[in-house]
């Protein structure tokens, strides 16, 4: 018998008393007594440990991990499911019980035969074809508008040159403020110009400007009360009419009335523009048919020599069929 076996074993009451004394740190126990109690508790744990039962438990765990072994058919091997670390047993069981879903195509892509790359390739080709078709249509519209504005500029440039020499009368009366008319006007001077888009946008033609001045001999004389004189003055400014003002004030410098002498001339501005977004030709005119602004719009394929001739008749005050 060894020395350890000859040592008397502490009873359960002694072990419990030692543990309680250690936890509560009761007064009166020396350090030696505390060490003896801890030793007694450790020896009791060693005696209570069942080595055979622990070995059997380890063997059972190893058997579960190894499975059927490497000699089994590879097609029959069952690989463990990968779950999040620390997942509860319930979550692991649900993950195993859940059927595996088939691989789905990316969101927005049609399901079909073939692999993922083939589906992506087909979708990319379809979208590229749509973009190419839209770009071809846009290029076609831009080419039509560019040709139309070139035709407009060529026509107006020659029209201005001829009219600057002939200086024909323009039988059109412009009503001013709804009361008197500017009439007896003739062509005095005109010019045409054009603008192109930036080089990055294709340098196609953007607009054609057409400006001319009609002049007569008889000015208009119009009087307004002092209370509305300022408003009438602003109206003449907005119409781009040249005028002079004679003011009549009383002894207290209060404006009683004003006499407006409107020069017998009308400045006309016409701008042909390409609306590339809508694919339209737009004509913005000021003081063309009447004092004020007028707007025309039509498709570029409608532009031809006959339409430009109708515009020329409109400029000269002749009967015309220019579309409104």
Shared domain for 169 and 271, answered yes or no, is: yes
Residue 296, in any domain of the structure: yes
The pLDDT value given to residue 27? 47
Shared domain for 37 and 148, answered yes or no, is: no
Q: What is the dihedral of CA 4, 7, 12, 17, to 10 degrees?
A: -110
DSSP state, residue 106? P
**Which domain does 213 fall in, by range?**
138-218+264-316
Shared domain for 143 and 45, answered yes or no, is: no
The pLDDT value given to residue 91? 46
Residue with tokens 């992506």: 120
CA proximity to 227, closest of 247, 269, 265, 256: 256
CA proximity to 243, closest of 253, 234, 256: 234
Shared domain for 150 and 293, answered yes or no, is: yes
Residue with tokens 């005095």: 188
Which letter, b or e, does each residue of 19-35 get, where b requires 16 or more Cβ atoms within 10 Å of its Cβ? Answer: eeeeeeeeeeeeeeeee
The pLDDT value given to residue 48? 67
The pLDDT value given to residue 21? 61
The pLDDT value given to residue 57? 72
Shared domain for 163 and 268, answered yes or no, is: yes
pLDDT along the chain (324 residues), means of 10: 49 64 55 70 68 69 56 46 49 50 50 76 85 74 91 97 97 90 95 88 86 95 92 92 93 92 96 92 95 92 94 95 83
Burial of 102: CB neighbours in 10 Å, binned 0-12, 13-18, 19+: exposed
Shared domain for 178 and 277, answered yes or no, is: yes
Residue with tokens 């020599």: 305
Which letter, b or e, does each residue of 266-279 get, where b requires 16 or more Cβ atoms within 10 Å of its Cβ? Answer: bbbebebbbebeeb
C-alpha–C-alpha distance, residues 145 and 276, integer Å: 8
Residue 145, in any domain of the structure: yes
pTM, two decimals, is 0.58
∠ at Cα 238 (232, 240), nearest 5°? 110
Residue 174, in any domain of the structure: yes
Residue 6, in any domain of the structure: no
At 312, give phi and psi (nearest 5°): -60, -40
Burial of 287: CB neighbours in 10 Å, binned 0-12, 13-18, 19+: buried
C-alpha–C-alpha distance, residues 100 and 188, integer Å: 88
8 Å CB contact between 242 and 265: yes
Residue 302, in any domain of the structure: yes
Q: Number of structural domains, the chain?
A: 2
The pLDDT value given to residue 56? 73
Structure tokens at 272: 């042909």
């Amino acid at each position: 018998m060894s020395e350890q076996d000859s040592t008397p074993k502490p009873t359960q009451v002694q072990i419990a008393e030692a543990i309680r004394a250690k936890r509560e740190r009761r007064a009166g126990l020396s350090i030696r007594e505390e060490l003896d109690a801890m030793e007694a508790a450790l020896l009791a744990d060693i005696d209570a440990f069942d080595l055979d039962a622990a070995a059997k438990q380890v063997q059972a765990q190893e058997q579960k991990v190894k499975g059927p072994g490497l000699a089994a058919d590879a097609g029959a091997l069952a690989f463990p499911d990968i779950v999040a670390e620390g997942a509860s047993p319930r979550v692991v069981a649900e993950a195993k019980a859940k059927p595996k879903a088939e691989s789905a195509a990316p969101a927005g892509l049609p399901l079909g035969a073939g692999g993922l790359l083939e589906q992506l390739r087909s979708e990319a080709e379809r979208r590229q074809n749509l973009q190419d078709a839209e770009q071809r249509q846009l290029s076609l519209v831009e080419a039509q508008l560019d040709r139309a504005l070139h035709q407009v500029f060529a026509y107006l440039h020659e029209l201005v040159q001829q009219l600057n020499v002939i200086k024909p009368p323009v039988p059109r009366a412009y009503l001013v403020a709804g009361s008197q008319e500017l009439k007896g006007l003739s062509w005095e001077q005109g010019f045409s110009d054009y603008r192109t888009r930036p080089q990055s946008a294709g340098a196609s033609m953007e607009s054609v400007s057409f400006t001319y001045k009609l002049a007569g001999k008889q000015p208009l004389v119009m009087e307004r009360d002092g209370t509305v004189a300022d408003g009438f003055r602003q109206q003449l400014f907005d119409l781009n009419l040249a005028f002079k003002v004679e003011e009549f004030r009383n002894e207290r410098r209060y404006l009683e009335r004003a006499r407006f002498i409107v020069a017998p001339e009308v400045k006309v501005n016409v701008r042909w523009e390409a609306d590339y977004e809508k694919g339209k030709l737009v004509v913005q005119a000021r003081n063309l048919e009447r004092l004020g602004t007028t707007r025309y719009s039509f498709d570029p394929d409608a532009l031809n020599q006959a339409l430009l001739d109708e515009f020329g008749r409109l400029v000269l005050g002749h009967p015309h069929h220019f579309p409104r």
